[in-house]
Amino acid sequence: MSDKRRIRTILRRLEKAYPDAECALHHRNAYELLVATILSAQCTDETVNKVTPALFARYPTPQRLAAAKRADVERLVHATGFFRNKAKNIQGAAQTLVADFGGEVPRDMDDLLSLPGVARKTANVVRGVCFGLADGIVVDTHVRRLSQRLGLTQNDDPAKIEQDLMQVIPKSKWIVFAHQLIWHGRRVCLAKKPKCDECVLLDVCPTGPKILKGLA
């Protein structure tokens, strides 16, 4: 099977398996997704989703978060880990939104990257989910692991992985492809014990047969 045909097969099967794949971080608007994504660094989405209801109830707008007492923000985000730095970043982002963008989350990539705590992954998430804009492919731990196992990249650096994926995945699929890989990574292609015998991609995955034989 040619590489192009294999990738088309991967995309087709992921779409069939996860037709409703979407961002797992609970949010009602771009501000909430921005904050949740910053909090998700080195933390599970499940934990973030437990933390954010109280956080957004207390600070429903960038203006409210920008004016908050840092100690109160730290207490609310403590469970996400690295809470002092995360509290500093989400409050700094809120303050920048208020000062530079009228309290609204900007669409422009460079504007998003100017916010404290926002790197390319977070910017891609916000632009893709909230605005339907695709500058690249979100590379989180699941996308990184699965793209390597599927032989879509030989790199380990997220920025290089993103570039590799952008070369082979059609731009129209960049946003949903990341969500589908993340769902597949959580449900089937687990980090420690992947369920290769249940995987719809087994016959187009160079790693799966090796895992089943105990060679990987």
Catalytic residue among 45, 86, 121, 164: 121
What residues contact 76, with CB distance under 8 A and at least 6 apart?
Answer: 51, 54, 55, 58
Other CB atoms within a 10 A radius of the CB of residue 41 amount to: 18
Residue 196 identity = C
Q: Is 140 a catalytic residue?
A: yes
Catalytic residue among 45, 140, 156, 197: 140
**3-state secondary structure at position 165:** helix
What residues contact 124, with CB distance under 8 A and at least 6 apart?
Answer: 134, 135, 136, 137, 138, 178
Residue 202 identity = L
Q: Is 164 a catalytic residue?
A: no
Other CB atoms within a 10 A radius of the CB of residue 25 amount to: 19
Catalytic residue list:
121, 140
